[in-house]
Structure 1
Amino acid sequence: MGKTKELSKDVRDKTVDLHKARMGYKTIGKQLGEKETTVGAIIRKWKKHKVTINRPRSGAPRKISPRGVSMIMRKVRDQPRTTREELVNDLKAAGTTVTKKTIGNTLRRNGLKSCSARKVPLLKKAHVQARLKFANEHLNDSEKAWEKWLSAVLKLTQALRKKDYENRRLVSHRLSIMDGVI
C-alpha cells in the first residue's frame, strides 16, 4: 500500500477552482503536482458534500466534553484522594452521565495512569496516639538529648539502607538500646 497524506486546504480549494475553470483531472494534477486519482477524489468529494475540508473520522464522539475533562483534572489535582465514583457523581450533577471506566480512561489519557485513591489514611489512630505519647513523654527534654536521639535515628536509617548482614545485626542492636538513649 502506498503512502497516504492529507492535502492542505489550499491545494484542495485550488483543485476545485481549476475544475470550475473547466480543466481536466490530468491537467490539474500536473499543474499542482498531484496524481490524477487524487484530483478526482477531491473533486468527487466536493461534488458530493460541497465542501473540501476533511470529514470527521468514524467512531463514537467523546462522552466527556473538554470542559468536563478539565474539571475532572482540576478536581483530581486539588484532591488526589477523589474516587472515580465521586467524579461520576460530579459529572452527573453537571448533566453528563458516564461510567467509572470512562473516568478512568479519561484520567489515563491525561497522564494519570495506575493511580488509585488511598483506601486508608497514612496515619491510623494508633500511630497518632503513639506519636502523641512519645511527644508528651519527651516534652521537657533538653536540646542535647534531642540531638543525641536524632543522631541515633540517622545512624539507624543509614544502616537500614545498607544491605549487608553486619549492618542488619547492628540495627537490631541499636533498636534495643535506643530506648535508653534519651
Structure 2
Amino acid sequence: MNDDKIISLQINRKDFEEVYFSGTSGSLFFSSATKGKTVTTLIVGLILAILFIFKDDFSKEKFGILYFVSFLFLLCVIFLSVAINKVSRWKKEVIAYLKTLENAEIYQIKFNKKIFTVNINNAKETCLWTEFTSAEAGEKFIALEGKYNYMFPQKSMSAADYEILKQAVKKNIK
C-alpha cells in the first residue's frame, strides 16, 4: 500500500564540491556568468590603453573618441563587478550549505508518485513533483529546480538508489 522509497545519502563534501564547482563555475572572472564580461572589459581596456598612448596625436575634434571609450570601459567594469558579486554570493551560499551538510547526521530523500521530501537532520522540505519546473538527471548528479532546488551527486548514494531516483525524476518531471 505504501510505495514510499527512502534513499539515505552519504555526505562527503568533496562529492558535492565536484559538482557545484566543476569546470570554471567557481571562478570569479571566468565562470559562465562572468567570462564574456571579463573578456569584453579586457578588450575595451586594451583599446583605451592604446588610445591613451596615442592621445597626443588626436585633434580636438577626435578627442571625443577617448571619452566615449572611457565611458564604455566604465560600463564594462560596472557590469563585470555586478556579475562577480552574483558569483561571489552564490559561492558563499553554496559553501554555507555544504557546511550544514557536513554537520548533518541525517540526510534522506523520501518520495512516492506524488510527493518528494528531503530530510536534513529532521528539517523536512516536502513538495509535490508538479512543483518542480525543471530537472537534470545525468551521470554525475541529479538536479531539481522549483519550489526548492536540490542537487544530489551520484557518489553520495548507491548505484541502485541513483538509478531509482533518476527514473523517478524522469517519470515525474516533464
The question of a shared fold, defined as TM-score above 0.5 by the shorter chain, is answered with no
Q: TM-score, normalised by structure 1?
A: 0.26
- Compare relative contact order (CA 8 Å, sep 6+) and give the higher one, 1 or 2: 2
Which structure: larger Rg? Answer: 1
The structure richer in strand per residue is 2
Q: TM-score, normalised by structure 2?
A: 0.27
